[in-house]
Amino acid sequence: MNARTLLAAAVALAIIPLTSCQQTRTDDFAADPNFDSSAYEDFANVTPLPQRDSSISFYGPGSERLDKSMFGPVYFDYDSYAIKPTEGAKLEQMATRLRSNRKRLIIAGHTDASGTSEYNRALGERRAQAVRSTLLAMGVASNRMQTVSFGEDAPAQPGNASANRRAEFGAYD
């Protein structure tokens, strides 16, 4: 075999695997036996978020109106937004207290510094939403709660990852 034939054979062998590659279409997921569509169907029953109260913020202008000492933080496991059983008891006490008064609540989700800023901001929002959903299921009215995520941007204790994986609360009238 000469060099030209070897080169042609090498190019052909390199191209053959590429011709079998194709992009995954979104409708291919429906054919996947491991695809769980119920995760998406749940969004049809989500209670919409109320308009955010722009006169108040968790750290910025208006934060002096917040009572951040009324409720302690709820902590999360690494890379998780699931409410731990130990933290569920805190939320039950919080719901009982909120049902007996007219306070409104800002739920602020936080993360540790592992992951990208975008990922951490999204995880912080999922944590805040998980807390909101739990309180909603416990009888706290939807229009009394709003969420915000700070991701990794507002650590409780720099360098202490477990202390930073949390949701904090600010109550106001």
pLDDT in tens, 19-54: 444 444 444 444 445 444 444 444 334 445 555 666
CA geometry: angle at 161 spanning 74 and 155, to 5°? 70
Q: Which domains does the chain have, with CATH numbers?
A: 71-173 (3.30.1330.60)
Q: How far is CA 31 from the centre of its chain?
A: 28
Q: How far, in Å, CA of 51 to CA of 32, rounded?
A: 38
Look at residue 148 in the predicted model and tell me its pLDDT.
94
- Token pair for 84: 């731990």
Closest CA to 160 of 75, 67, 99: 75
Residue 27 identity (one-letter amino acid) = D
Helix, strand, coil tally for the chain in percent (to 5): 45, 15, 45
Q: How far is CA 4 from the centre of its chain?
A: 57
pTM of the full predicted structure?
0.69
Q: What percent of the chain has pLDDT over 90?
A: 58
pLDDT tens digits, residue range 115-157? 999 999 999 999 999 999 999 999 999 999 999 999 999 999 9
